[in-house]
């Protein structure tokens, strides 16, 4: 398994996502072109399984930071290898997930997770992976966690911000936080 990395194109995909708990408009199709056509960055984060213990803590944290991603012109997409129907049932069952502001992508064929190189070999579930993709469709940041370890969503927001600062021609020093000085050449 080789995880796709920085500088590579994010794979083409067209997948069904759960976008609401309302059955009349619960599902939508999401593609790799959506953020490009909108001129936005894409942050796609993956979790192993719905109805588990660590995953909802991360999903809630991403939802709590949704406005941060919006302010940074980024489309936020959550994903797992569970189906859109499992995502819907989980959102209906778990009060903290009912009002998510971002889609839950269903990679039931596991093709996207496999192409990204984040499909765990034994159970065939996705690792806790996060990809930041620029408006041209190029991967700019990747982080993959062990199945048992949740990620730090504030760090994902910080990295997205830092990448955008770097795109303006500035260098971002270690431990930089938004609003601090950068290195200008």
Mind listing the domains of the chain with CATH numbers? 14-151 (3.40.30.10)
Q: Which pTM value belongs to this model?
A: 0.96
pLDDT in tens, 86-110: 999 999 999 999 999 999 999 999 9
pLDDT in tens, 106-140: 999 999 999 999 999 999 999 999 999 999 999 99
Catalytically active residues, by annotation: 55
Kindly report the backbone phi and psi dihedral angles of residue 148, in degrees, each rounded to the nearest multiple of 5, phi listed first. -90, 0
């Amino acid at each position: 398994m080789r995880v796709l990395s920085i500088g590579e194109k994010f794979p083409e995909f067209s997948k069904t996502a759960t976008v609401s708990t309302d059955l009349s408009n619960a599902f939508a199709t999401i593609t790799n072109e959506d953020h490009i056509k909108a001129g936005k960055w894409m942050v796609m984060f993956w979790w192993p399984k719905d109805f588990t213990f660590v995953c909802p803590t991360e999903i809630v944290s991403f939802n709590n930071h949704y406005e941060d991603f919006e302010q940074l012109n980024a489309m936020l997409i959550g994903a797992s290898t569970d189906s859109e129907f499992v995502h819907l049932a989980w959102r209906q069952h778990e009060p903290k997930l009912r009002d998510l502001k971002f889609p839950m992508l269903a990679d039931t064929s596991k093709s996207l997770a496999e192409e990204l190189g984040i499909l765990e070999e034994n159970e065939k579930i996705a690792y806790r992976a996060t990809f930041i993709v620029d408006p041209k469709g190029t991967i700019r940041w990747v982080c993959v966690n062990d199945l048992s370890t949740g990620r730090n969503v504030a760090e994902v927001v910080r990295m997205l911000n830092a990448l955008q600062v770097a795109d303006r021609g500035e260098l971002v020093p270690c431990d930089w936080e938004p609003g601090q000085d950068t290195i200008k050449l």
